Chain A
Amino acid sequence: MTTSLMINGEERSLTCDPRTPLVDVLRNELRLTGTRNVCREGYCGACSVHVDGKPMSSCLLPVGTLEGRDIVTIEGISQGDKLDVIQQAFIDLDVIQCGMCFPGMVMTLRPFLRDNPSPSRDAVKFALVGNVCRCTGYERIIDAVMSVVDATEVTE
């Protein structure tokens, strides 16, 4: 069985076991290792990708169910050296530690901020309950998100 889908704008045909979770296909077959394989239970968010624009945990998605869908991974987020504002804020505020959760954080936050341009600090936290970070204790991540929110408000 072949599954055809778009990954980061490219049409791909996959012939692996269609029950394989998308995260394994991305990492092992396509070598897109920025999607992190951490809990495999849908709790940590480190494997978040966009499916038709919505952030989803790729460990819970059998690849065969994704026929014709549009997948974007962390590798598809930044164009060359041009980073997303949230990626840049993470760098500028020095909030990264081991870094394994950050691609997933970016994948969750980008659509969240698109849909909620002026969230409260609490709203950001609730949006991130499916993105676990073991290193940072979260608050500096939230600081970085709020710096983007505040900056947007000023420029608007």
Chain B
Amino acid sequence: MSDQSFADKAVMDFPRRDAHDKVTGRTRFTVDIGGSEVLHAALLRSDHASARIIKLDVEPARKMPGVRAIATGSDVPGRYGIGIADYTLLAKDVVRYHGEPIAAIAADTLEQARAALDAIELELEPLPASLTMADSLAENATLVHPDWQDYEVLFEGGVRGGNIAWEATVERGDTDAAFAREDVTIVEGFYEVGRQSHVPFEPRAAVASFEDGRYHIHASTQVPWTVRTVTARVLGVPESHVRVTVPTVGGGFGLKFDASIEPCAAVLARMTGRPVSIINSRREEQMTCLSRENAEIRIRSAVTSEGEIVGREATVLMDCGAYGGEQVFLTTMTTHTLGGNYKLGAVRICSRAVYTNTPPNGAFRACNGVYNTFALERHTDEIADAIGMDRMEFRRRHVLGDQDISATGQVYDGDVLAPMLERMEVLRAKSGSRKDLAGNRFYGEATTVGTWLIFVGPSAATVNLNYDGSATLVTTGVELGQGTMMQALPQIVAANLGIAPEDVIVKTADTDAAGRDLGVGGGRTTVSIGAASEAACTVVRDKLLGVASEILQTPKKDLVLARGRIEIKGRPGSGTTIQQVVAEAESRFGPISGSGSFTTPPFECMPGCTAGHFIDAIEPVFAVHNCELAIDPDTGKVDILAYRVVQDVGRALNPRAIHGQIQGGVVQGFGYALHEEITINETGAFDQTGFENYLLPLATDSIPVEFDLYEGAPAVGPFGTKGAGEIPILNVAAAIGCAVANATGKQVSSMPLTPPKIAALIDDCNPPLQHDHISPVWSENTIERK
């Protein structure tokens, strides 16, 4: 637990130390590692969504200029995955999606490697393909993985079958009885969302070498330990034979929360004895992006005239693409996101990851939460309308509060959402309505709430107190741009050791140097690595104070660490410097260092109500968003007039950096809600292949986000902090979707709301959503369990 007396020292707008090199172009990302010794690799990829490999002859390619090595499926035989090992690195026998890699060639130059790809003799015999979840769930559907039962299960408890890669369910209370009550109104809604591509400016990239019998991979990744594990599995070597280091990463947003091309670079490095670089081209990066998944959602609620939700059932289909990947895990999240926000009587939710012959999906900032919040908040507006209650009033009355229970029966501490809604009213009143800016256009406004969780799990940290009085923090945390490694972590260590954050050196991630860590994502870094760092500091401080106590002839409890000194409480300037104590310690027992660790605290849910969940109970984190917008009826274009955020941050360690996360996350949400669309054509490929047709928000599409940081909610993180980078995007689609519904008076059930979609909405010519593959009978959407 944090010592709260340090907390005030930790709070500051500490600037980033990587800023200078980033604005001058000196920063070297993985894609910048080069030199004449480095070979360059290119991947042969499938141009079919589903096909049998009839012939794969790489021999002609070996004779091409500059070619040094070629890897195919038999060189990387091990399967990997999340929950189930269904993933192959290079396809063997069959290909399951357009863009699936089949072979990798390393050559002296990238042009030579690409030219050699054309010399590979590949024959594919097309097989039937399931390109949609409806295809995959149809009777007699083609199985994407006919051998699914033979795959190794890596996490027990999931229910699987056919094209259902994973199913997670929660059932709490008697839902049938709730829906049978005579005093309830039953409200039902269908929702559908498309994929979102992360588009980190640095694509997935790796440079591997084979040194002293071990693989060393420089990877642009959020998860060095996952890259290590996956590489070892795929190559069939002990994990200890793989070292992963991570230079500065040029954006991730969740895309780099899984291994992808890194083991290819590793195997080619072993074959050639040279460093091998693999960098996805932008086109490859777009067309094989482990996107935020497309999803189809059905929610049904039984609500009393007062708005009490006595029963709720939901089915969520998540397209995992050709391999399970993150979606297997994310089935868990539905319970906490769609099952969040409101007090529920009886509840049952089924969340299914569905295989299709499309590029595999992955994790993207507030993964799963973004679309489930959209669906839930649209559904909530429909409930309020159905019972004739004001939409805000409904939320004020029914959001989760102190001692309410979650979907899994976990008891939440503290009133957080209701006071956050009040703070939003204040923020809204402060800046005033922008309705006059709408002119002749349609005007709409909405306020939405959202629930996310702090993704915790294991982290490790070591703090070395250096001879000069500075400290070195060693973790496998990664700097993606979010700033945690530059700001929050040195602030936390500095506050704990009474030194300046400038004097905390933060080592870049190296799996040979620090203990295991789950990775940077889910808003966990400040919380989990921060807590491990604090624990390490506690050890260091204890050693330091032990020595100082003897030097100063003062009990430890009367000593404080401040300004690089160890002082006697209440007497600033007294005592001695940390440097002197370190020197003394060295002469007695050696240098001072300490290690600490952290893992998921024992949150409790109601036993027996969940199945197939990776996480049953959570630390929730909440957000309230408000949006005012105008719609041009001529074009269907949305103009955001105002955007406001009240965010539960626990404690804001670096308010300026959090502002950056909120502004950036919200604008990414504008993209998701309004511009960014992925469509899959009849060949199973994305139509959007680059920046020309995958439309990211530009400078003219953003507005300054008004925000208020809500502090004081219960939190396990150091100094009561919660991760702030993940959730700014959480409610954006919800707030925009509800505001568009408000502006047009129409049913808004799908995302993204591109100008053509809104024009069709205004004209009443959007085809109704077809969800025949989701049964109105909830239990028919689950695999029958024993």
Q: Which residues of A contact B (CB under 8 A)?
A: 27-28, 31-41, 43-44, 46, 73-75, 77-78, 83, 87, 90-92, 94-103, 106, 124-126, 128-129, 131-142
Contact check, B16 vs A94: say whether CB atoms are below 8 A apart. Answer: yes
> Which residues from B are CB-within-8-Å of A43?
690-692
Contact check, A90 vs B19: say whether CB atoms are below 8 A apart. Answer: yes
User: Is B588 part of the contact surface with A, judged by Cβ < 8 Å?
Assistant: no
User: Is B27 part of the contact surface with A, judged by Cβ < 8 Å?
Assistant: yes
Contact check, A99 vs B23: say whether CB atoms are below 8 A apart. Answer: yes
> Which residues from A are CB-within-8-Å of B704?
139
Known: A94-B13, A94-B19, A126-B700. A132 touches B691 (CB 8 A): yes
Known: A137-B663, A139-B705. A98 touches B23 (CB 8 A): no
User: Is B786 part of the contact surface with A, judged by Cβ < 8 Å?
Assistant: no
Known: A83-B24, A100-B29. A137 touches B692 (CB 8 A): no
Q: Which residue on chain B has the smallest CB distance to residue A101?
A: B201
Contact check, B665 vs A134: say whether CB atoms are below 8 A apart. Answer: no
Assembled-state Cα–Cα distance A136/B480 (Å): 13
Assembled-state Cα–Cα distance A132/B700 (Å): 10
User: Is B22 part of the contact surface with A, judged by Cβ < 8 Å?
Assistant: yes
Give the shortest distance, in Å, between B28 (CB) and chain A (any CB): 7
User: Is B698 part of the contact surface with A, judged by Cβ < 8 Å?
Assistant: yes
Assembled-state Cα–Cα distance A37/B285 (Å): 13
User: Is B31 part of the contact surface with A, judged by Cβ < 8 Å?
Assistant: yes
Contact check, A73 vs B23: say whether CB atoms are below 8 A apart. Answer: no
Contact check, B691 vs A39: say whether CB atoms are below 8 A apart. Answer: yes
Assembled-state Cα–Cα distance A124/B702 (Å): 13
Q: List 11 A-B contacts (CB under 8 A).
A: A33-B25, A39-B690, A90-B19, A92-B15, A94-B15, A94-B19, A100-B251, A102-B22, A103-B23, A134-B200, A139-B704
Contact check, A78 vs B199: say whether CB atoms are below 8 A apart. Answer: no
Q: Which residue on chain B has the smallest CB distance to residue A95?
A: B660
Contact check, A41 vs B691: say whether CB atoms are below 8 A apart. Answer: yes
User: Is B483 part of the contact surface with A, judged by Cβ < 8 Å?
Assistant: yes
Contact check, B15 vs A100: say whether CB atoms are below 8 A apart. Answer: no
Q: Which residue on chain B has the smallest CB distance to residue A31?
A: B34
User: Is B667 part of the contact surface with A, judged by Cβ < 8 Å?
Assistant: yes
> Which residues from B are CB-within-8-Å of A96?
16, 18-19, 22-23, 481
The residue from B200, B667, B690 contacting A41, defined by CB atoms under 8 A apart: B690
User: Is B633 part of the contact surface with A, judged by Cβ < 8 Å?
Assistant: no
Assembled-state Cα–Cα distance A43/B201 (Å): 12
Contact check, A97 vs B481: say whether CB atoms are below 8 A apart. Answer: yes
Known: A39-B691, A96-B22, A135-B481. A129 touches B699 (CB 8 A): yes
> Which residues from A are CB-within-8-Å of B663?
136-140
Known: A98-B480, A139-B704, A140-B663. A39 touches B282 (CB 8 A): yes
User: Is B482 part of the contact surface with A, judged by Cβ < 8 Å?
Assistant: yes
Contact check, B691 vs A137: say whether CB atoms are below 8 A apart. Answer: no
Contact check, A100 vs B202: say whether CB atoms are below 8 A apart. Answer: yes
Q: Which of A41, A100, A125, A126 has the most CB of B within 10 A?
A: A100
Give the shortest distance, in Å, between B563 (CB) and chain A (any CB): 24
Contact check, B23 vs A137: say whether CB atoms are below 8 A apart. Answer: no
Contact check, A138 vs B24: say whether CB atoms are below 8 A apart. Answer: no
Contact check, B705 vs A137: say whether CB atoms are below 8 A apart. Answer: yes
Contact check, A34 vs B691: say whether CB atoms are below 8 A apart. Answer: no
Contact check, B16 vs A137: say whether CB atoms are below 8 A apart. Answer: no
Contact check, A97 vs B482: say whether CB atoms are below 8 A apart. Answer: yes
Assembled-state Cα–Cα distance A31/B33 (Å): 10
The residue from B28, B200, B698 contacting A33, defined by CB atoms under 8 A apart: B28
Q: Which of A36, A41, A97, A98 has the most CB of B within 10 A?
A: A98
Contact check, B201 vs A139: say whether CB atoms are below 8 A apart. Answer: no
Known: A125-B699, A132-B691. A98 touches B19 (CB 8 A): no
Encode contact with A along B18-56: 1 for CB under 8 Å, 0 otherwise.
111011111111011011000000000000000000000
Known: A28-B34, A97-B482, A139-B702. A38 touches B26 (CB 8 A): no
Give the shortest distance, in Å, between B662 (CB) and chain A (any CB): 8
Give the shortest distance, in Å, between A103 (CB) and chain B (any CB): 4
Contact check, B23 vs A83: say whether CB atoms are below 8 A apart. Answer: yes
Q: Which of A31, A78, A94, A137 has the most CB of B within 10 A?
A: A137
Known: A39-B282, A75-B25. A138 touches B667 (CB 8 A): yes
Give the shortest distance, in Å, between B631 (CB) and chain A (any CB): 21
User: Is B668 part of the contact surface with A, judged by Cβ < 8 Å?
Assistant: yes
> Which residues from A are CB-within-8-Å of B692?
41, 43
Contact check, B201 vs A98: say whether CB atoms are below 8 A apart. Answer: yes
Q: Which residue on chain B has the smallest CB distance to residue A44?
A: B691
Assembled-state Cα–Cα distance A34/B28 (Å): 8
> Which residues from B are CB-within-8-Å of A83?
20, 23-24
Give the shortest distance, in Å, between B665 (CB) and chain A (any CB): 7
Give the shortest distance, in Å, between A100 (CB) and chain B (any CB): 4
Q: Which residue on chain A has the smallest CB distance to residue B202?
A: A100
Contact check, A46 vs B23: say whether CB atoms are below 8 A apart. Answer: no
Contact check, A38 vs B282: say whether CB atoms are below 8 A apart. Answer: yes
Assembled-state Cα–Cα distance A40/B110 (Å): 16
Contact check, A98 vs B660: say whether CB atoms are below 8 A apart. Answer: no
Give the shortest distance, in Å, between B154 (CB) and chain A (any CB): 31
Known: A41-B690, A83-B23. A134 touches B700 (CB 8 A): no
User: Is B346 part of the contact surface with A, judged by Cβ < 8 Å?
Assistant: no
Contact check, A98 vs B690: say whether CB atoms are below 8 A apart. Answer: no
Contact check, A102 vs B703: say whether CB atoms are below 8 A apart. Answer: no
Assembled-state Cα–Cα distance A83/B281 (Å): 32
The residue from A36, A44, A134, A139 contacting B668, defined by CB atoms under 8 A apart: A134
The residue from A27, A37, A91, A142 contacting B699, defined by CB atoms under 8 A apart: A142
Contact check, A35 vs B13: say whether CB atoms are below 8 A apart. Answer: no
> Which residues from A are CB-within-8-Å of B696?
132, 134
> Which residues from A are CB-within-8-Å of B16?
94, 96
Known: A99-B250, A100-B202, A129-B700. A137 touches B24 (CB 8 A): no
Assembled-state Cα–Cα distance A32/B34 (Å): 11
Assembled-state Cα–Cα distance A73/B24 (Å): 10
Assembled-state Cα–Cα distance A103/B26 (Å): 9
Encode contact with A along B683-718: 1 for CB under 8 Å, 0 otherwise.
000000011100011111011110000000000000
Contact check, B23 vs A38: say whether CB atoms are below 8 A apart. Answer: no
Give the shortest distance, in Å, between A66 (CB) and chain B (any CB): 20
